[in-house]
């Protein structure tokens, strides 16, 4: 199976389950003309998979895209420390949604599938000194919403409703159920 993502978290989640992965990525502009937030991130996930699948028509290609959404606004990856500060201030003491879309494509088998998982995350109140400390760890710079639940960002999380792995960047449970729907046998994991 080809993972069309540079995310070490996605790689870790899938390999820990037993998938034999090759990593192949292409730089794409992560934009979509879709209006609806769900359709927008599914579209971006599909674009990532198609780019690789078109050159690997006999392979299963998997991709994903994760966003943080609060007040109907998308919080992507921060550009700088000010972005991190502003995002974490906005998330402090509130709940937000982490939306992860994934796609699986195998062109020769005519498989084109995409789905989405939405998890609600509740944050504790965050102090300015905690935000400064977190920025100094360098962890938030490549994370949607400026935090990683699996790392030091766990300090901010009060609780979640939904899939922990989705917040990490890949909804493993829904992905596995999707493979079953597509009649892809989990006994063939090492071959995927």
Residues marked active site are found at 65
Work out the number of other CB atoms within 10 angstroms of the CB of residue 73.
11
Q: 48: closest CA among 104, 90, 96?
A: 104
């Amino acid at each position: 199976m080809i993972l069309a993502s540079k995310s070490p978290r996605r790689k870790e989640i899938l390999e820990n389950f037993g998938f034999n992965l090759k990593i192949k990525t292409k730089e794409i502009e992560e934009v979509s003309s879709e209006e609806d937030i769900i359709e927008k991130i599914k579209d971006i996930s599909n674009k990532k998979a198609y780019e690789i699948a078109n050159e690997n028509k006999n392979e299963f290609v998997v991709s994903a895209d994760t966003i943080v959404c609060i007040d109907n606004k998308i919080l992507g990856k921060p550009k700088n420390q000010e972005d991190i500060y502003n995002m974490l201030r906005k998330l402090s003491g509130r709940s937000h949604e982490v939306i992860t879309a994934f796609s699986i494509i195998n062109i020769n088998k005519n498989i084109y599938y995409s789905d989405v998982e939405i998890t609600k995350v509740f944050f504790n109140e965050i102090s300015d000194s905690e935000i400064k400390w977190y920025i100094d760890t360098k962890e938030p710079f490549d994370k949607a919403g400026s935090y990683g639940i699996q790392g030091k960002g766990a300090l901010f999380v009060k609780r979640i409703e939904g899939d922990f792995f989705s917040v990490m960047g890949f909804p493993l449970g829904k992905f596995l159920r999707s493979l079953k729907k597509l009649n892809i046998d989990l006994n063939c994991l090492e071959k995927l």
